[in-house]
Amino acid sequence: MSIVSHLHHLFTPETCQAYIHTLRWKDRPLQCPRCQSLNVGPWGTYHAQPGLKRYRCKEKGCKRTFNDLTGTLLDGSKRSLMHWILATFLLCLSCSSRRIAKELGVHVRTGYRWCWWLRNAALSYEMGRKLAGTVEADDLYHTAGHKGQAKTGGTKALGRQPRGRRKKREPGRGHYDKDRPAMIAWVSRQGGVVIQATRDFTVKTVQKAADLTMQAGSKLYTDSASSYRLITGYAHDSVNHTKKEYARGDVHENRAECLFSLLKSYLRVFRGVSKTNLPGYVGFFQFLRNFHQLTAFEQAEMILYAALDPAIASRARKGEFVTCLDHFKLLQCPMCDPLTERRRKLPGKSQDHLVL
């Protein structure tokens, strides 16, 4: 095995620690993560973790100690910072969690958990993104089932007919209950994209999605699907694909089509995703597209910066940034559904998934 294959062993712990220290307190005041007191002072170091700085909350505060990692996503990890930094970088290169686990030499479930957390931290940048100007919209149905939700695989009853590889899909539009949830892409010609994973593609859904995504008074270009025709509140024009009309002067939706082409190849890497996890994957792809002018290193730094914020970290662990969870409850997701309360401990730690 070559030495370069263990790239993360070439970094020194001190360099990584200094980098994380800079990133942790960049643009943030040095304050206690527990009581938010600004009255803190240095309080020694650790033998086992060279470079990790320790602080103590002084008088009038909680008087407890904390360090550079307290309350962040990286807090309490037995793996080194080099593992985390490399994992974040590989995530931005669209690697799957299994691939990352293999390259880093960690367990598959560790890789899955890290990827889920880091993706969620990246989603914090995508909260409340609104598009303005001329917006193109298109819809797509993606086959997504119950991946990873049978306890042991094989012998456990699925409670449904197995979908089977290469099985012909049902004709007509997809639906969440038919294992083909819909996705709607919104692309602004002035920059910025939003992709939403939804249960279905009815007028009600599209209207709600449009209101969440577009600023009032935006111009909307779509294809001739009936759900777009009844949308209110936006100047709307469409091209008719059945009549082989793909562009009429300024009116076309080619950017939205192109975005789906990129999304499909991005999702192929994972060899099928579960429909409950689909919004998370789609949301992370949205982050990658909205910052595509940056290199993977710069994107990784953005994610690490978010992961080092205790407020974002605790929400990212719970998966609260996935769009459907906060205000867009169209997909039956583990957080919205009280029956799946147990999945809050997930992902990764327990294999106790419930079949929805």
Interacting residue ranges for Zn ion, rule: CB under 5 A = 32, 34-35, 37, 57, 61-62
For the bound state, the minimum distance from the C-beta of residue 60 to Zn ion, rounded and expressed in Å, comes to: 9
65 or 290: CB nearest Zn ion: 65
For the bound state, the minimum distance from the C-beta of residue 341 to Zn ion, rounded and expressed in Å, comes to: 31
SS3 labels along the chain = CCCHHHHHHCCCHHHHHHHHHHHHHCCCCCCCCCCCCCCEEEEEECCCCCCCEEEEECCCCCCCEEECCCCCCCCCCCCCHHHHHHHHHHHHCCCCHHHHHHHHCCCHHHHHHHHHHHHHHHHHHHCCCCECCEEEEEEEECCCECCCCCCCCCCCCCCCCCCCCCCCCCCCCCCHHHCCCEEEEEEECCCCEEEEEECCCCHHHHHHHHHHHECCCCEEEEECCHHHHCCCCCEEEEECHHHCCCEECCEECHHHHHHHHHHHHHHHCCCCCECCCHHHHHHHHHHHHHCCCCCHHHHHHHHHHHHCCHHHHHHHHHCCCCHHHHCCCCCCCCCCCHHHHHHHHCCCCCCCCCCC
55 or 141: CB nearest Zn ion: 55
For the bound state, the minimum distance from the C-beta of residue 77 to Zn ion, rounded and expressed in Å, comes to: 22
For the bound state, the minimum distance from the C-beta of residue 309 to Zn ion, rounded and expressed in Å, comes to: 17
72 or 110: CB nearest Zn ion: 72
62 or 296: CB nearest Zn ion: 62
32 or 81: CB nearest Zn ion: 32
For the bound state, the minimum distance from the C-beta of residue 67 to Zn ion, rounded and expressed in Å, comes to: 13
34 or 189: CB nearest Zn ion: 34
29 or 154: CB nearest Zn ion: 29
For the bound state, the minimum distance from the C-beta of residue 117 to Zn ion, rounded and expressed in Å, comes to: 25
For the bound state, the minimum distance from the C-beta of residue 44 to Zn ion, rounded and expressed in Å, comes to: 17
